[in-house]
Chains A and B, each alone.
Chain A
Amino acid sequence: MTKIKIKLLSKKITYAIFAGVLLLAYYPNIASADPITNRSVTIGSSLASASTTYNFTFTAAQATTIQSVSFAACTTASGACTPAPGFSASSSTLAAATNLGSGGTWTVDTGTAGELRMLNASNTGSPSAGITANFASVTNPSATNSTFFMRIATFSGSDWTGAIDTGVVASSTAGQITVAAAVDETLTFTLASASVNLGTLTKVSTGTGTSSMTVGTNAESGYTVAYSGDTLTSGVHEITAMGAATTSTMNSKQFGINLMANTTPSVGTDVTGTGSGAPETDYDTADTFKFNTSGDVVASAGGSTNDNVFTTSYIANIDSSTAPGAYTTVITYVATANF
């Protein structure tokens, strides 16, 4: 009876040892896996669920030839790996792999959605410091502002067996920040003065005066500035408007304007400012003046423009027959932006 018990006990011990040996054979290097150092992962986008790049850098602890590497995305750094929800390596590609040894070519394996894998059955030699493994088209975990862990493991076999070194890096998704600013339609149009005094006219001098206006817009097609109004009038008397662009001639009835720096007479200033606005034809020649009682466009910009300051020069001449009186006119300028 005792003999039988001893035999049974012997068998049990033998089986236990055998099972232990099998276990060690299946995980031959678990006990000897060394920590990977200087490890990091830089992801191309931290946006949840984004398809992006995963660039790993690390240094292997052991000189053993590496023939495969895995990078498992887990919700925890240790213990059984629960795949990070949403993470997918199924479409991953391998963009670069360096310092892993020599020989053969490293290729990606997309067979496991939860981990990035690469292999090179022909790799020889020892890894050097600063291994890089760059993957593209990796899908981020789906949770925003959430930490996940990439568990790195190197293997001596090209089939992810024979673990050599291991290491963990933590990474995180983050919310995307959208910065928004509204730019409204704008038209800047200001007139600096409301009245212009041309003084007392004589037939041997030209009455002059100026007004200025500032114009700018962000309208796609720019703007136009037009004027309207009558010529200088005093009761039933008037000073003839310069219907066609012409020079100032004393001892004649003339009323006209332009937007230039003139010398005859000396009046006005050329357009200033960083804008692209400019005087229109007939109003853009020094010493040439015009006034159309039907209205006319005097300045414009073909596109959006910063502000320009236009100086409108007014001239008036009279002859001997000009009836005395106070001659006035009201001129209205209208700026129109074209968005």
Chain B
Amino acid sequence: MKTNIQKQSKFALVRAIILAITVSALPVLNISPASAAPITGRSVVLSNSVGDASGVSYALTTAALPTSGTIVKSVEIAFCDSLVGACSTPAGFSASSSTLASQPGGLGDASGWTVSAATAGSLRILNASNATTPSGAVTITWNSVHNPTATNTTFYGVITTYSGSDWTGALDTGSVALSTATQIQVALTVNEALTFCTGTSITGQNCGTASGSQVSLGDGSTTATATGTSIIAASTNGNTGYSVTVNGATLTSGANTITALSSGGASVMNSKQFGLNLADANTTPIVGAAKSGSGTAAAETNYGTNDTFRFATGETIASATGPSNANTFTVGYIANIDGITKPGVYTSNLTYIATANF
């Protein structure tokens, strides 16, 4: 008999303990009161989904609260690993440093709301003085939240509004699912580049279209200046840009030459002259064209002045001082002869060299 009593007593004790545990666990399980109405149109937008990220904004948006006749004095989003069973805060999640980005909307009073960062696992705000019933869509944004540690992992937020300013007296509730995600790093290697081409025709700055290598100045005359053009296109990502030099001899026919304008000068008819420039608007004679393209390269001073022509082998004719998109330069050539210029076909083979400086 005594044994039975002892057994019954033990059984009762166990039942009491189970009951006590169950009752005490109710808040933890987030089991909402039967009267709590479901919140609709709810979402929480994260400013950053990277696992373990800090300084993240959590923006809650919902439709107008269903319990519109009761004043809301506190709101909470409890973050859990699962919506089933007791709420276990996702590892790494922390609201301990959370701040309220701005006064919430749709909760009643437009001011007086403050954050409570006392519960690491929940984002909370309160306004004990709120005297206005909720109306319209609800918006609350917390800043400085620390994301859960795990990457590509779903976690949940349980939203609850309360009539008490101490997160008691639950009114409406709803849950949202969120997830962290792996940050994608996109990488691109940019190698050293120098694009350079010459020709008598280049479409835009496209070196793939470069063609032609012969510039005919026509027949020399003592009363007219012979002219012609060729094209140069260049670009580089070189740290200190690039330079282009011109290399070659003056117009030559056997032992006879047409004097190069080695110091630069204007075109003068009835004198022996050979020169070039990259100027944009020569008028005496009319030859050449303005540079094109979005690059920052420019003609050198000695080769960039309108109506002044020059030719000295090895000299730099154009350059860019830093990385430059493509530019196309038109090289204008002029040749004059005097009365004693020996007849013949005068030619000059010019090589342009681009040097990029990385």
Taking Cβ atoms with an 8 Å cutoff, the residues of A that contact B are: 38-47, 50, 76-78, 145, 147, 149, 167-172, 174-186, 188, 216-220, 275, 303-307, 339
Contact = CB atoms under 8 A, between A and B. Distances in A.
A300 to B, nearest CB: 15
A182 B219 contact: yes
Interface stretch (B6-14, B160-168, B192-200, B288-296): B192-200
Contacts of A183: 219-220, 253, 337, 341-346
A65 to B, nearest CB: 24
Q: Which of B222, B230, B355, B358 has the most CB of A within 10 A?
A: B358
A304 B357 contact: no
Nearest to B211: A175
B348 A179 contact: yes
A220 B198 contact: no
Contact of B339 (A43, A145, A180, A217): A217
B194 A172 contact: yes
A224 to B, nearest CB: 16
Nearest to A188: B339
A179 B217 contact: yes
B228 A179 contact: yes
B348 A178 contact: yes
Given A169-B192, A216-B339, A306-B338, A179 B251 contact: yes
Interface residues of B, number: 59
A307 B339 CA distance: 7
Nearest to B226: A181
B283 interface: no
A47 B351 contact: yes
Given A178-B214, A339-B343, 14 more contacts: A46-B353, A169-B192, A170-B192, A170-B236, A170-B356, A174-B352, A175-B198, A175-B213, A176-B350, A180-B346, A182-B344, A182-B345, A218-B342, A275-B339
Contacts of B215: 177-180
B309 to A, nearest CB: 13
Q: Which of B195, B219, B343 has the most CB of A within 10 A?
A: B343
B292 to A, nearest CB: 18
Contacts of B247: 44-45
Contacts of A169: 192, 194, 356, 358
Contacts of A216: 339-340
Interface of B: 189, 191-200, 207, 210, 212-220, 222, 226, 228, 230, 236, 238, 240, 247, 251, 253, 258, 270, 331, 333, 335, 337-358
B353 A45 contact: yes
A176 B207 CA distance: 14
Contacts of A179: 215, 217, 228, 230, 251, 333, 335, 347-348, 350
B37 to A, nearest CB: 61
Contacts of A275: 339-340
A185 B228 CA distance: 22
Nearest to B245: A42
Q: Which of A39, A179, A217, A304 has the most CB of B within 10 A?
A: A179
Contacts of A176: 198, 213, 349-351
A96 to B, nearest CB: 17
A42 B355 contact: yes
A42 B356 CA distance: 8
Given A168-B358, A170-B236, A181 B217 contact: yes
B11 to A, nearest CB: 48
B342 A304 contact: yes
Given A38-B357, A42-B355, A179-B217, A305 B192 contact: no
Contacts, number: 189
A42 B194 CA distance: 12
A185 B253 CA distance: 13
A188 B356 CA distance: 51
A176 to B, nearest CB: 5
Nearest to A169: B358
A58 to B, nearest CB: 9
Contacts of A217: 339-340
Nearest to B228: A179
Q: Which 3 A-B residue pairings sit nearest by Cβ, starting from the closest? A: A77-B191, A170-B194, A145-B197
Contact of B197 (A45, A167, A175): A175
B354 A181 contact: no
B287 to A, nearest CB: 12
B227 to A, nearest CB: 10
A218 B340 contact: yes
B193 A147 contact: yes
A38 B341 CA distance: 47
B201 to A, nearest CB: 11
B191 A45 contact: no
B219 A184 contact: yes
Contact of B196 (A38, A145, A188): A145
Contacts of A219: 343
Contacts of A168: 191-192, 358
A46 B219 CA distance: 29
Q: Which of A47, A167, A188, A303 has the most CB of B within 10 A?
A: A47
A177 B343 contact: no
Contacts of B340: 216-218, 275, 303-306
Contacts of A182: 218-220, 344-346
Contact of B342 (A45, A50, A181, A220): A220
Contacts of B343: 183-186, 218-219, 339
Contact of A172 (B195, B214, B349): B195
A181 B220 contact: yes
A149 B350 contact: no
29 contacts: A39-B357, A40-B358, A41-B355, A42-B353, A44-B353, A45-B247, A77-B191, A145-B196, A145-B207, A147-B196, A169-B194, A170-B358, A174-B352, A175-B210, A176-B213, A177-B198, A178-B214, A178-B348, A178-B350, A179-B333, A181-B217, A181-B335, A183-B220, A183-B346, A184-B220, A184-B343, A217-B339, A218-B342, A305-B340
